Structure 1
Amino acid sequence: MNPPSRTARQTPEPAGLGERWFADKAWQPFPFQREVWQAIAAGESGLLHATTGAGKTYAVWLGALARFADGGTASKPAPLTVLWITPMRALAADTARALQAPLDELGIRWSLGLRTGDTDSAERARQSRRLPSVLVTTPESLTLLLTRADAREAFAGLRMLVVDEWHELLGNKRGAQLQLALARLRRWHPGLVAWGLSATLGNQPHALKVLVYPGHGRLVQGKVPKDLRIDTLLPAAIDRFPWAGHLGLKMLPQVVAEIDSAATSLVFTNTRSQSELWYQAILEARPDWAGLIALHHGSLAREVRDWVELGLKKGQLKAVVCTSSLDLGVDFLPVERVLQVGSPKGVARLMQRAGRSGHAPGRPSRVTLVPTHSLELVEAAAAQRAVAEQRIEARSAPDKPLDVLVQHLVSMALGGGFRPDDLRDEVRQCWSYRNLRDDEWAWALAFVRHGGHSLTAYPDYQRVEPDEQGLWRVPSRRIAQRHRMSIGTIVSDAALHVRYWTKGGAGGSLGSVEEGFIARLRPGDCFLFAGRLLELVRVENMTAYVRRATGRKAAVPRWNGGRMPLSSELADAVVEQLGEASRGHFDTPEMQLARPLLEVQMRWSALPTETTLLAETHKSREGWHLFLYPFAGRHVHLGLASLLAWRMARRAPVTFSIAVNDYGLELLSATEVDWSAALGPTLFSPDDLLHDVLGSLNAGELARRRFREIARIAGLVFSGYPGAQKSARQLQASSGLFFDVFRQYDPDNLLLTQAQEEVLRQELDVDRLARTLQRLQARRLDLQAVARPTPLAFPLLVERFRESLSSEKLADRIARMLRDLEKAAGPGGAPSDAPVLIEQEPAKRPRTPRARKDGRPRVKKKASEG
């Protein structure tokens, strides 16, 4: 969103609106900006993939103004002409500020408005009377606008649609929702110009095709030289037996020093709970920074987020601890430094966050990785190489999410009504629904008309009816109101509002927190939220009332999203680094620091490489351990561990305990297993994969949980009215009832099929699991019998202990294990005859396993936080 650089280029005389505006500022456009201007002038659609901070916004925005800004007066601005879609509220507000500047300076009589979940009722009322010339909004708000009875008239002047950060929407249901809205707008305006913007897409042709389908568009590459610096904050020393988070806040003094060295910094964390902890820790380390550092994440109140964003804009804040809420395209010029606490988990995410600093052409962007455990040093070295080689993750659009289609049918019935054949043809103009079958369409129509085969007797599910002219509409005002309130359920979570409790009743709002966390607290318990220590007073009407607390131990809210898996691209780069280490190459500062850890691993066992699959077997008092290191991410490892346990149990009855992290998995049996004979090609065969995966897991229960989201999107369950929302438990019970009814009386219901497919594709990532199995079959098995747990095995043991220890503190157990393992490793890492505690003091006495009557193994699963 920043102006191009002022470096000299061979440039023709400024011509046209864009050239004139740039010349007035003594700037010169990049070639890709001119290419976009020319394409828009010719009425073309396309995708602009350009370096972060290179000026993507001005490329598309000035092209839109040059082509379409030919009307409007001060008293009556032009009608709605451009829709600007953003995936996040913070990005929407920032975009609106960026778009306003050229309007003011060029004297264009266009009005500009913002429409998101944060928009107040007064502004919504104004927009109901007349939409602004330019509307910055989200996919959910756009769909809501399309439910207006006069939607076609309201969008009559629309000429162009821009999707910012298209990669963020491409691969999920919100993107499918946007595709359906685009199809409706293209039906009304066949010449509609559509452009997508992104800086981090690994499969750009696919992203372009999804955006412009079924038409064609231009892919513009805006490669501008950018100095992207990635370094690592190296700890003074590391443990040779790491576990998740063991460095963590030990890095606090160095992080504080880095923040102190820059005018303004962003400290990114992967979870909201982590951001709360780091904000509090930094404030305790530097109390003089009170008022100069802030916290930003999606659960905070809008007023808090707005204050933080404005403070960053004006350079008034020293640092902001944040999550992905400030990831995307937000323009904060004063930001000099970005620190990433913990693994970035993906190459694209790291590049996005790095781009928040030096957000302008000609300015370097710098991100510093802060490892939270020793193996993240290897990840840091791998991430630097992956970024240098542009190994950016690919994203694919979902295939026929029928819950989104059902919601869309009711939306279109509200927005003036529809004729089934016309709407079917329109829906098939979306890439995600291009293969929609006639029987699937007929099922969707029947479902919104009378609830399908099993809900015919219930009026609440008779949502759409054809009128005398054959136009399908929503006959009930109550159903219409409920549907409009449910359109945002694609992204909503079950949450409670957090408010201060005062003598007079409710006080100011602090934000929202997941209901599952509050449900575990009792009045009087304390927790950290919004950077404050709070005491829970009471819970009432989906609101948690709190007051300030002091000097008491606090819990930290744990929101969903903390188990983000390592991407394939970053995982492959990590294995390459380990392969080089196995050959004696430690070429980076990170690898040099990790060298003692890796040398212990090599002395006691081996390192995984690009051509080998490392498996370690170990006998302890707990039983027989198998440690396997595919480096495929936690989701795949959970599915793989369950699959291996299932296949082993079909050969002989056996019980396994399972632990997984991003690097590998552990299978623990109380009875002896001959892993040297078992680990053959058939165990890793991708044949009958779906059958075996479904057999190895409680797939019915997984599908039941997944069905809750599907039921909400499809309108089967209603979250409640403002101030009287239903709890997560109520929603789960309601959706579970539908799930059971459908399974018993309507087994062919396509929403059941969708739930099972989403479990396989999203929770277990079965496609990546299949690729992993094929890759493992091609690798040479490196089976090592180890006398004691190795550095790679140690994190998996810790994750299992997190669940199994009760009377003994986990920290105490880990400390004793570390002392014995370090003694066994010796000063140089050589094994010694010292006893290893884990072989002498089991966490539990193993029990004799019993097989199920149906032959299925008794598997205890634990997907670790890694």
Structure 2
Amino acid sequence: MEESLQSVSHRMAKPFDFAKHWFAAKGWKPFAFQKEVWAAVKQGQSGLLHASTGAGKTYALWFAALNRFAVTRPPATGKRKAQAEPLTVLWITPMRALAADTARALEAPLTALQIPWSVGLRTGDTSSSERARQTRRQPTALVTTPESLTLMLARADSETSLAHLRMVIVDEWHELIGNKRGVQLQLALARLRRWHPELMVWGISATLGNQSHALDVLVPQGGGINVRGQTAKELKVDTLLPPTAERFPWAGHIGLKMLPHVVAEVDSSSSCLVFTNTRAQSEMWYQALLEARPDWAGLIALHHGSLSRETRDWVERALKEGQLKAVVCTSSLDLGVDFLPVERVLQIGSAKGVARLMQRAGRSGHAPGRPSRVTLVPTHSLELVEAAAAQDAIAQRRIEARESPYKPLDVLVQHLVSMALGGGFIPDALLAEVRSAWAYRDLTEADWAWALGFVRHGGLSLTAYPDYRRVEPDEHGVWRVPDARLARRHRMSVGTIVSDASIQLKFWSKGGGGKHLGSVEEGFIARLKPGDGFLFAGRLLELVRVENMTAYVRRSTAKKAAVPRWNGGRMPLSNELAHAVVERFDAAAHGHYDGPEMQAVQPLLQTQLRWSGLPTRDHLLAEALKSREGWHLFLYPFAGRQVHLGLASLLAWRVSQQQPVTFSIAVNDYGLELLSATEVNWPVLLNEVLLSPTDLLTDVVASLNAGELALRRFREIARIAGLVFAGYPGAPKSTRQVQASSGLFFEVFKQYDPQNLLLTQAGEEVLRDELDIRRLEQTLRHLAELKLDLHMIERPTPLAFPLLVERMRESMSSEKLSERIARMVRDLEKVADNRKR
């Protein structure tokens, strides 16, 4: 093969069909969608490629670029290599780990085909020496992240260094489109298009439910082509059934009862990924697997985003080389280019979304023509229904939509300072450029004037402070950053990923310089005393001391250990999966229990039917109960945790306007509970007026502590907009300092600058993101179409029981909670066995 490829390359420099010869040499036959992409790029078109995971999307775009822009040349004579072409292709990836993987995949054909191109990496992990080398000479193709691209554009020579750019490829576009990182990329692309009007931009995705919107956001000027993979990848979804399904399930017990069955599945496969939804859950499962099979030490590994970069690199490398039998992981391994050794994927608990489950399933059989398989491991009985529903949704390809944020001004403010560093800008020209980005297509003159004023002098309330005079026009009307210190601070703060301050973990060493283990959130360490044990990176550790945002630890022999909790662990049930779950309940209500999952959970559902009812397509299930605690309402809209929080608060507030009453609230993905100490006549009050979408926005704001929610949101906005500086490397500010600073700005703006648009944005983001006001309105309109099915129950039903536990968890220790739950389950099981009601 090598000889034939070399002979092919010995031609005069001219365009060449690299794809044809590479595929032929490999014995591959290109798919129709790959040929369609090659033809479109040859004609200079932009677009979106949507195809199954592992179907060959990377080579579809890479060979399109090579065929269009690369040339073959005779081998260089002497010791000197042929000089690589200038920077021609930018490959944008959402994850640093994916960047290295992508670069390896792109380099493979270059040597064999003797293409004088080079591939480089530029992410937050790139060393300063490598960045300096790239500054002297850019690679032909650069794999980078949105943040690193913005930093490139913030250089004074950015237009010159990107002068030969011809194509931008955005990998895993679904991971970026729905958040502010995607908006940051939209603005960067707008700048690149102004410099290069003929620039081709392509997105790659495997899991998008609204491809037309995704294409519009990526190619906002229109004219983009949507290429769909014609080969539907075979996706096998099955469930690891428990020996018995509890009739009274509750979320939170992690499902370790399924450990022997998971061990057996791992043992029977040559290699597998065990996905969990949270980092804490991954730590517990990794430890449990090692305790069950000590002989697997060194053969199984742990991977999540808080582990050190070195640890994650080792795990990824060992996985690709086939050295590991299993890796327990979180979404940190959702994405990847080449995990061929992975035979099986296990998903602990519900994935909560169709796209996420498909993405994880695609980690196995990650190659064209190979089937992918994922096995679901329920952590409680109701997840058996979710498992059956997930199979339905995947078979029907009901994939969740991802929508771009609309006009986030904190990202715009950051972008203005970046562009002022990147050679400066003239406001009128930059306004036209910004409006060419989809998220800012409706940016008003007033919005623009406010943003300019904010970066120039901090708005109405910060004019007296020099740190907020970040950008000023020079004598030629070009806006630049005049202060080198502020420029340095800005470059260190570029990006839209905002999380609570992290404490670095290091092994304690008397001489200092202990091994770095990773990071945990500051709030977790703050609850520990020296000597307390906790689980991290699969090790039992003991806290020694905390110093300068670093927690020093040593190995512990204690039997009891805490598990770190990271923010963002709870993922809401998606609309698509929720609809599929309701359809499965509807079928059960009509006596249909199709599939092993529904047959296993049949005793639970039959008990639910005897004591109350089941949700259906046409009925909204509600339950009212009088207990020693008070008067309960259980309502099951199946709209996800976020919507249920807003709905529960809304209902509680509306009832309180009719009678003096105070409620306790509990929510999960299926429904909500309202508990009051005084009587509430739910059969009368629960009507179409209470569930009406009329005056929704006013009532929701009144029903919640909207000020506190907005303050919490403002902390993120303040960081992105550059109001709050998180500190220099080696001397980061603590979470308390950052929160105090942002809280001070929040109060100052409220008092002295109430029209500040960042305050407005905070309120809008609370409604849109935390309460999902649009989905709440859609839910209320949908509920208005359903017939209310209200049951006066004598005891908690299988659907109500998890909500009781959710509420009790907030006020009880884990030991007391488990004792209380065990007693309640025994009592309910006794009634279920003895009384057929």
TM-score by structure 1 length? 0.93
In structure 2, the residue matched to 1:255 is: 262
Which amino acid is 1:787 matched to? E
In structure 2, the residue matched to 1:814 is: 821
Q: 2:801 aligns with which of 785, 794, 803?
A: 794
Deviation at 1:651?
A: 0.7
In structure 2, the residue matched to 1:556 is: 563
Contact between 2:652 and 2:663, CA under 8 Å: does it hold in 1? yes
How far, CA to CA, are the matches of 2:174 and 2:500 in structure 1?
22
Q: 2:638 aligns with which of 627, 631, 640?
A: 631
SS class of match (2:810): helix
In structure 2, the residue matched to 1:25 is: 26
How far, CA to CA, are the matches of 1:330 and 1:787 in structure 2?
54
How far, CA to CA, are the matches of 2:106 and 2:266 in structure 1?
31
CA deviations 1:656-707 (Å, max 9, x no partner) are: 0000000000000100000011011110111111100000000000000000
Q: Does 1:659 align with 2:666?
A: yes
CA deviations 1:207-253 (Å, max 9, x no partner) are: 00100112320000112132210000000012100000346100011
SS class of match (1:315): coil
In structure 2, the residue matched to 1:341 is: 348
In structure 2, the residue matched to 1:198 is: 205
SS class of match (1:505): coil
Which amino acid is 2:584 matched to? Q
CA deviations 1:530-566 (Å, max 9, x no partner) are: 1111111111111111111123311111111111100
Contact between 2:217 and 2:404, CA under 8 Å: does it hold in 1? yes
How far, CA to CA, are the matches of 1:100 and 1:679 in structure 2?
63
In structure 1, the residue matched to 2:438 is: 431
Which amino acid is 2:509 matched to? T
SS class of match (2:104): helix
Deviation at 1:330?
A: 3.4
SS class of match (2:577): helix
Contact between 1:71 and 1:78, CA under 8 Å: does it hold in 2? no
Q: Does 1:379 align with 2:386?
A: yes
Q: 1:716 to 1:542 in 2, by over 3 A?
A: same
Deviation at 1:130?
A: 2.2
In structure 1, the residue matched to 2:86 is: 79
Q: 1:421 aligns with which of 416, 423, 428?
A: 428
SS class of match (1:135): strand
Deviation at 1:331?
A: 1.7
After the TM superposition, which of the residue ranges 348-357 and 509-518 deviates more from structure 2?
A: 509-518
Deviation at 1:806?
A: 5.2
SS class of match (2:513): strand
Contact between 1:413 and 1:472, CA under 8 Å: does it hold in 2? yes
In structure 2, the residue matched to 1:704 is: 711
Q: Does 1:184 align with 2:196?
A: no
Structure 2 residue runs without a partner (length 5+):
1-14
Contact between 1:247 and 1:371, CA under 8 Å: does it hold in 2? no
In structure 2, the residue matched to 1:5 is: none
In structure 2, the residue matched to 1:291 is: 298
Q: How do residues 488-499 of structure 1 correspond to structure 2 at under 5 angstroms? A: 488-499=495-506
Q: How do residues 1-150 of structure 1 correspond to structure 2 at under 5 angstroms? A: 16-70=17-71, 74-150=81-157
How far, CA to CA, are the matches of 2:108 and 2:300 in structure 1?
28
How far, CA to CA, are the matches of 2:430 and 2:611 in structure 1?
65
Q: How do residues 333-732 of structure 1 correspond to structure 2 at under 5 angstroms? A: 333-732=340-739
In structure 1, the residue matched to 2:307 is: 300
Contact between 1:247 and 1:374, CA under 8 Å: does it hold in 2? no
Q: 1:210 aligns with which of 208, 217, 223?
A: 217
Which amino acid is 2:57 matched to? K
After the TM superposition, which of the residue ranges 797-806 and 675-684 deviates more from structure 2?
A: 797-806
How far, CA to CA, are the matches of 1:75 and 1:362 in structure 2?
37
Which amino acid is 2:124 matched to? G
Which amino acid is 1:536 matched to? L
SS class of match (1:479): helix
Deviation at 1:465?
A: 0.4
Deviation at 1:103?
A: 1.1
Deviation at 1:516?
A: 1.5
SS class of match (1:517): helix
Which amino acid is 2:433 matched to? E
Deviation at 1:439?
A: 0.3
SS class of match (1:195): strand
Which amino acid is 2:299 matched to? L
Contact between 1:165 and 1:329, CA under 8 Å: does it hold in 2? no
After the TM superposition, which of the residue ranges 514-523 and 462-471 deviates more from structure 2?
A: 514-523
Residue identity (%):
74
CA deviations 1:175-198 (Å, max 9, x no partner) are: 000000000011111111110000
Q: 1:156 aligns with which of 145, 148, 163?
A: 163
Deviation at 1:120?
A: 1.9
CA deviations 1:449-472 (Å, max 9, x no partner) are: 000000000000000000011100
Deviation at 1:488?
A: 2.9
CA deviations 1:456-507 (Å, max 9, x no partner) are: 0000000000001110000000000000000035345421211111121131
SS class of match (1:162): strand
How far, CA to CA, are the matches of 1:626 and 1:51 in structure 2?
44
Which amino acid is 2:223 matched to? H
Q: 2:233 aligns with which of 216, 221, 226?
A: 226
Which amino acid is 1:830 matched to? K
How far, CA to CA, are the matches of 1:215 and 1:572 in structure 2?
33
SS class of match (1:502): coil
Q: How do residues 305-344 of structure 1 correspond to structure 2 at under 5 angstroms? A: 305-344=312-351
Alignment RMSD: 1.3
Contact between 2:32 and 2:230, CA under 8 Å: does it hold in 1? no
Contact between 1:71 and 1:77, CA under 8 Å: does it hold in 2? no
How far, CA to CA, are the matches of 2:254 and 2:585 in structure 1?
21
How far, CA to CA, are the matches of 2:254 and 2:598 in structure 1?
17
Q: Does 1:830 align with 2:836?
A: yes
Q: 2:812 aligns with which of 805, 826, 840?
A: 805
Which amino acid is 1:475 matched to? P
Q: How do residues 231-250 of structure 1 correspond to structure 2 at under 5 angstroms? A: 231-246=238-253, 248-250=255-257
Contact between 2:498 and 2:716, CA under 8 Å: does it hold in 1? no
How far, CA to CA, are the matches of 1:808 and 1:498 in structure 2?
28
In structure 1, the residue matched to 2:275 is: 268
Which amino acid is 1:685 matched to? S
How many equivalent residue pairs?
817
After the TM superposition, which of the residue ranges 16-25 and 601-610 deviates more from structure 2?
A: 16-25
CA deviations 1:21-79 (Å, max 9, x no partner) are: 11111111011101100111111000000111110000000010111113897353111
How far, CA to CA, are the matches of 2:16 and 2:602 in structure 1?
59
Contact between 1:51 and 1:223, CA under 8 Å: does it hold in 2? no
How far, CA to CA, are the matches of 1:178 and 1:624 in structure 2?
51
Which amino acid is 1:101 matched to? A
In structure 2, the residue matched to 1:846 is: none
How far, CA to CA, are the matches of 2:567 and 2:431 in structure 1?
36
How far, CA to CA, are the matches of 2:537 and 2:257 in structure 1?
22
SS class of match (1:528): strand
Which amino acid is 2:366 matched to? H
Contact between 1:345 and 1:567, CA under 8 Å: does it hold in 2? yes
Q: Does 1:281 align with 2:288?
A: yes
Q: 1:197 to 1:489 in 2, by over 3 A?
A: closer
Structure 1 residue runs without a partner (length 5+):
1-13, 832-866
Contact between 2:254 and 2:281, CA under 8 Å: does it hold in 1? no
In structure 2, the residue matched to 1:737 is: 744
Deviation at 1:15?
A: 8.0
Which amino acid is 1:505 matched to? G
Contact between 2:105 and 2:337, CA under 8 Å: does it hold in 1? no
Contact between 1:243 and 1:373, CA under 8 Å: does it hold in 2? yes
CA deviations 1:421-466 (Å, max 9, x no partner) are: 0000000000000000000000000000000000000000000000
In structure 2, the residue matched to 1:749 is: 756
